[in-house]
Structure 1
Amino acid sequence: MTMHGSTIAADSFTAKLIAGLRHPRPDIAEHCAWILGEQKEQYAVPALCQTIQERLWDVDVAAAAVAALGKIGDPQALPALQFALQHGAARVRVEVVAALRQLHTPQADAVLRDIAEHDPLASIRDQALRALQKGR
């Protein structure tokens, strides 16, 4: 399995977790995303981004993938986070705000400002505003 120009063994624990993101049982996919986030597994960033694109309708899985990307903190996740923000349920958007706080980039701050001004839910707008005021 090749990711970010590096190779990981197909039978490695990380590879199995990444494969688990595609599992048809949402609880298994969600748990795999959670573990990848806890391990801050950089190799998983593309697969987690893909999970958001493909399973945004599955709120628990999408929220777990977004949360994992936040824990990993890779700025390459920004396009997937923006996609989740535009198309995701409120629970997913809450996780997007938390994830953006972890990216530490001017682009993430710009997205947080946009959320603070335009999200349809006041609670999410407030969360984004608090994230900006704390300086992340």
Structure 2
Amino acid sequence: MVFRSKIDVFYVNFMLIVVLIIALGSLFPLFIEEVRNEWIAVLILVSIFIVLVSFILWTNFTVKYIFYRDYLFIKGGPFKSRIPYKNITEVSRTTAIFTGHRIMSSRDGLEIFNKTTFLGSIKISPRNKREFIIELKKRCPNIKIRE
């Protein structure tokens, strides 16, 4: 079973600000007279901007959570986490979007405590949290769920 990540307006606005900051940083030299006339410099700066923004958008807007037979697979761009169900101990709601090990794009998320991931937990934001928790409970009957 596959769950996609929920994306809220706050996160989209935050990502727009990040893209604007990257644009200012990487394209600012184009406004300097000497650089504007150097087509190779323009090509390099625009390429850097496109690569950085593409990577950020890929990692943040292609997040999905897949239930396999023995483990929960969490994927966001090139980043992947495989959490065996036997290692999951607890699930709780979270709104902390900027802290900890997270693969989420919404302030309305879940924190999965386990024995596998860095820092002992991972923050996710499935679109349908209720169905996600029901599916997780089927695969981890001893899991503690904090509301």
TM-score, scaled to structure 1: 0.29
Structure number with the higher helix fraction is: 1
Structure number with the higher strand fraction is: 2
Q: Quick one: higher RCO (CA 8 Å, sep 6+), 1 or 2?
A: 2
